[in-house]
Amino acid sequence: MACCDIWTVFDEEHLRIKEYKYWILVLRNRNTTLGNCVAITKRHLERLSEITPEEMQEFQHVVKDIEHALKTAFHYDKINYLMLMMKDKHTHFHIIPRYQTSRAFAGAEWKEDFTTLDPLLIKNNPLTTEILLQVKEEIIRQILA
């Protein structure tokens, strides 16, 4: 798919939620907030300016799918989108649901810390593969509903 290791970095093989024509949606393997996902372009692009109108139009469908699924499954209070590309030089957006109160799912608890400016740096206990897969399956269930 691409000439970089983004697919390994985000463990696309195990954490893929949905594949679109131009994008792949995966659960982030370091889930700092419940349902934290990443939307990754299938083509290797190092700059957002290289994206086609068709790819950007499809991103709207990715956003609608994931916002609906996360709202239905976990009742987020707001949602953040980050495109930093500081380490992974491949276009991708972090999709970060935010919660004013802690959330529990699959035997794990996620606590928000709104003093942390970067939601990717929120410190929660590392999640087991089993818990990550349960979160992924719940999101898939909601997308398909």
CATH code (residue 101):
3.30.428.10
End-to-end Cα distance, the chain: 29
Domain that holds residue 132: 6-144
Q: What is the pTM of this model?
A: 0.91
Q: Which two tokens stand for residue 75?
A: 């009742």
Per-residue pLDDT, 31: 83
For residue 117, how many other CB atoms are within 10 A of its CB? 6
Comparing C-alpha atoms, which of 129, 119, 130 is closest to residue 93?
A: 119
In a domain, 76, yes or no: yes
- What does the pLDDT look like over 52-70, one tens digit per residue? 999 999 999 999 999 999 9
Q: How many domains does the chain have?
A: 1
In a domain, 102, yes or no: yes
Q: Which two tokens stand for residue 37?
A: 């996902």
In a domain, 72, yes or no: yes
In a domain, 1, yes or no: no
In a domain, 137, yes or no: yes
In a domain, 94, yes or no: yes
Per-residue pLDDT, 2: 43
> What is the Rg, in whole angstroms, of the alpha carbon atoms belonging to the chain?
14
Comparing C-alpha atoms, which of 142, 122, 129, 144 is closest to residue 36?
A: 122
How far apart CA 76 and CA 104 sit, in angstroms, is 12
Residues 6+ apart with CB under 8 A from 110: 31, 32, 33, 34, 99, 102, 103, 104, 124
Give residue for tokens 């692009």. 45
Output 54 or 30, whichever has higher pLDDT.
Answer: 54
Under the banding of pLDDT at 50, 70 and 90, the label for residue 116 is low
- What does the pLDDT look like over 4-13, one tens digit per residue? 899 999 999 9
